[in-house]
Amino acid sequence: MTFKNKVIWITGASSGIGKGLALELSKLDCKLILSSRNKEQLQKVQESCKNPENIKLLPFDLAHYANMVQVTDDALKLFERIDILINNGGISQRSPIIETSIDVDKKLMEIDYLGTVALSKALLPHFVANQSGQYVVVSSLMGKFSSPLRSAYCGAKHALHGFFDALRLEHDKDNIKVTMICPGFVNTDVARNALTADGSKQGYQDDMTENGLQVDIFVKRMLNAIRKEKYEAYIGKFEKFGVFVKRLSPRLLHKLILRSKVK
């Protein structure tokens, strides 16, 4: 698969991985729709991109998942079609289960799961009509195994795998592809913006995120996985091997994570 002449819609495009994808894809012969809640930040990303005339902005909030049919209609009017939807928008969480308000669990599910699912379902008739389309879902290694202090985040990411594996099976006949991207630690603001037990932002970076892959390196590996239409891609440093350790021995992975003192 090539990105040439494709229309690519990226959510969570105002910072981090989404911004990195926009910068890299703007160098190629394709058109982009950039979305996030923050219009001003989207404008700054657009200004930083190559060929900004091939980029349209569509701000919206994933938490308002009841609005996704209208949002999708608005997106389709921009370039008259969409070939790839990169579901990148979302938030994380850092807090012990026993202290975490159920409202935090609800918010993570609304944004990371229901918002993504509602948007993808709204676009599905367009993909079916064209008998073509690719969903790219930025999940996490935490969608394959869990670690402490991320219970709501892990739950939402695990749910994404269940939904999109079913979508891939149902619409194989329609030539619709699904690529699940599972990042490990990437040096973005995800930890700073993570919700704590009461729903407030953590506000600081953690060492493992700080020492994770740089965004530009991650994005190149992610785009390679999208080109190859991989079902799943695990992108990180040593932490990505947790997926394979869990297959071998969930008990061993449990012990290794406890010893690593992940925070």
Q: What is the pLDDT of residues 193-234, one digit of tens each?
A: 999 999 999 998 888 898 999 999 999 999 999 999 999 999
Angle between helices 215-227 and 16-25 (to 10 degrees): 60
Supply the pLDDT for residue 206.
Answer: 86
Parallel, antiparallel or unpaired: strands 55-57 and 31-34: parallel
Task: Identify whether 133 is part of a domain.
Answer: yes
The pLDDT of residue 5 is 94
pLDDT, position 207? 86
Does any domain span residue 130? yes
Domain CATH number, residue 69: 3.40.50.720
> SS3 for 133-173, per residue?
EEEEEECCHHHCCCCCCCHHHHHHHHHHHHHHHHHHHHCHH
Considering the entire predicted model, what is its pTM? Answer: 0.95
Tell whether 28 is covered by a domain.
yes
| pLDDT confidence of residue 233 | 98
Domain ranges, residue 166: 7-260
- Is residue 215 a part of any domain in this protein? yes
Whether 187 is in a domain gets the answer: yes
Give the count of alpha carbons within 13 A of 185, CB side only: 17
Please state, in angstroms and rounded to a whole number, the distance separating the CA atoms of residues 201 and 55.
31
The pLDDT confidence band at residue 261, using thresholds 50, 70 and 90, is: low
Assigned domain for 84 exists: yes
Residues annotated as catalytic (active site), given as ranges: 153
| β-sheet with 232-235: strand ranges across | 55-57, 31-34, 7-10, 84-87, 133-138, 176-183, 232-235
In a domain, 2, yes or no: no
The answer to whether residue 1 is domain-embedded is: no
pLDDT higher than 90, residue 1: no
Domain count within the chain: 1
Query: Per-residue pLDDT tens for 126-168?
Result: 999 999 999 999 999 999 999 999 999 999 999 999 999 999 9
Write the pLDDT tens digit of every residue in 76-132. Answer: 999 999 999 999 999 999 999 999 999 999 999 999 999 999 999 999 999 999 999
The candidate with the shortest Cα–Cα distance to 213, out of 243, 171, 174, 181, is: 181
